[in-house]
Amino acid sequence: MSKKLLRLLALLAVFSLFAIGCGGDDDTSSTSEETAEEATEETVEECVLGPGVSDTEIKIGSSQPLTGNLAALGVQAEFALNATIKRINDGGGIAGRTISLTVQDDEFNPEKTVTNAQYFIDQVGVFAVWGSIGSAPTVAAIPLHDEAGIMTLFTWSQDTSLFDREAHPYFFSLNPSGYKQAVAFSNYFGNKFDYGSETPVVAGLVLSSPDGEEAAQGVRDGAAGAFEGGTQTWERDATTYQPQLLAMKDAGVTDIYTVVGDTQFAQIIQEMDQVGLEARVWGTNAVVTSNLIDLVGPLAEGALAVTVMTGLNADVPGLVQFREEMAAVGASEADLSSASMLAYSGGLALEAGLRAVGECLNADALADALLALEDFSTGGIMAPINFDPSTGLGNQGAIIQEVVDGVWTTVDEG
């Protein structure tokens, strides 16, 4: 009985060993399969395409003021976006993908920009929103972009809060904050500009908003702050600037730093003449348009601007290419402006970034590729581009332009 029991136990043991052995084989087999699956998953994870990216297409949106008082800028920017897309698509696309662009009018109204952002995300399914104009519209829309994981690229906006890649990891810009531009003006004015023998009085004329206050603070913080003559603010619903200009006249202001669009700048120049305020007037990128000169004619002569791009009359290869490509999409000479040059320069950086990324395109990959660009050249349109990892700003240059003989002319670079 005990022998039978022993045999049975031995048999069980053999079966058990066999079973364990077989089980061991099975386990080994399944571990190998899991490892392979994990590896495949890792490969897939590495190559998760971003929203709006398919094997053949990259969808991009742009919210522009195509109507309203900044409409000229929106139309000009749209031409530049189309020029870039034509260049890329005509060249066979990037990694087998062509770019499709959807442009929506926002009338420079933040509420409409938010609606457009929702449309881009929910209806179109874009990879990025590119080249939109204005601080308030961008500030309003960017939380939606961030939440949806889509990129906010090369907007013409200068609100300081945007330049924070911890808050907005997919924000990249070639246009410095309003504060930084105001400091650039102030330092140029205080350190390099020949203001003559009389002590200047420098005043800011800015929108009554946090954005405007930052710009005014930038003037104070730079070298021109030593000549500060006060700040005047205007409201979005202002009809004219005459009361502000009269206050400046009373204060003996010699130089006015403004943060306005080209039509408003034209109105300021016209009203300065009407109230007899003889002062130099300085603008930012937004005023460097031929439209300004068309609007006020000879009164525009001597107007100055602190910009991040060269003048249209500069002899640089990037401008030649810019003109050719803009003409190819039907843009006229009047459409060549800061707005179109900024959007176009952004397009050059975007193309370089997309080519560096290749097939596996998503927001993180493009962000890394943009950050890896070193001294990227726009052919002289702006200073070499190097994106700051903390701010997303790629253009640290400051160029001074002046209307000379009816043309915006570069008078200083640095």
**Where does this chain bind another protein (CB under 8 A)?**
66-69, 71-72, 74-75, 107, 208, 231-233, 235, 237-240, 242-244, 246-247, 249-250, 262-263, 266-267, 270, 273-276, 291, 294-297, 299, 334
Q: Which is nearer to another protein, 107 or 159 (CB)?
A: 107
Q: Write phi, then psi, for 16 (nearest 5 degrees).
A: -60, -45
Q: Which is nearer to another protein, 49 or 71 (CB)?
A: 71
Least distance (Å) between residue 373 CB and another protein: 33
Least distance (Å) between residue 241 CB and another protein: 9
Burial bucket for residue 10 (CB in 10 Å: 0-12, 13-18, 19+) = exposed
Burial bucket for residue 28 (CB in 10 Å: 0-12, 13-18, 19+) = exposed
Least distance (Å) between residue 227 CB and another protein: 19
Least distance (Å) between residue 248 CB and another protein: 11
Query: What is the distance between the alpha carbons of residues 375 and 83, in angstroms, rounded to a whole number?
Result: 23
Q: Which is nearer to another protein, 62 or 231 (CB)?
A: 231
Q: Which is nearer to another protein, 157 or 231 (CB)?
A: 231
Q: Which is nearer to another protein, 227 or 241 (CB)?
A: 241
Cα separation of the two ends of the chain:
104
Query: What is the distance between the alpha carbons of residues 208 and 92, in angstroms, rounded to a whole number?
Result: 47
Query: What is the distance between the alpha carbons of residues 138 and 156, in angstroms, rounded to a whole number?
Result: 9
- Compute the Cα dihedral for 374, 375, 377, 378 and give only its sign: positive
Least distance (Å) between residue 134 CB and another protein: 15
Q: Write phi, then psi, for 27 (nearest 5 degrees).
A: -60, -45
Q: Which is nearer to another protein, 249 or 323 (CB)?
A: 249
Least distance (Å) between residue 226 CB and another protein: 21
